[in-house]
Amino acid sequence: MSTPLPQSVLFCCDHNAVRSPMAEGIMKKFYGTDTYVQSVGVRNDLEIDGFSIAVCAEIDVELARHRSRSFDEMEQWGDDLSSFDLVIALSSASQHRALELTRYFHLDVEYWPILDPTGLGETREAKLIQFRAARDQIAERLINRFGPPINTH
């Protein structure tokens, strides 16, 4: 059952290097600029993962310019968590942090347990298969939550 698009969505995961940047990029591609979309991690200790860049490029989502950031950096840069209508946590650690940070706000936090593909697969192709699975899981959840993509190019 799809619901209307919120005005702003924040995706979060552990490092803002794999799942949340993919979710941010795919949501922007699917639903355009009517919704303000950002992503963060519990920690910012990794750069955007090359496999995330590669599998998103396959569906015309550009992630190469993504810069990882944490919840703390987001606040330092002036993005107030309370300004988001919806927080979507893609890992249990980010769900806990989002709930902790939003306990004083009337803010919806949803938990989408998305596979963490890092460290899975021995060969490049096996790793790509795992990253594609995470990408496709995110795309499917977006469509289930917000309806068919508005932008298909």
CATH number, domain containing residue 71: 3.40.50.2300
Q: Cα separation of 63 and 54, whole Å?
A: 9
Q: Is residue 153 part of a domain?
A: no
Q: Is residue 103 part of a domain?
A: yes
Q: Is residue 78 part of a domain?
A: yes
Q: Cα separation of 27 and 38, whole Å?
A: 10
The CB density around residue 28, as the number of other CB atoms within 10 Å, is 17
Q: Is residue 127 part of a domain?
A: yes
Q: For residue 39, what pLDDT is reported?
A: 92
Show the domain range for 130.
8-145
Q: For residue 152, what pLDDT is reported?
A: 57
What is the pTM for the complete model shown?
Answer: 0.91
pLDDT confidence of 72, banded at 50, 70, 90?
A: confident
Structurally, the chain folds into a number of domains equal to 1
Q: For residue 51, what pLDDT is reported?
A: 93
**Pick from 41-50, 63-72, 116-125, 130-139: least confident:** 41-50
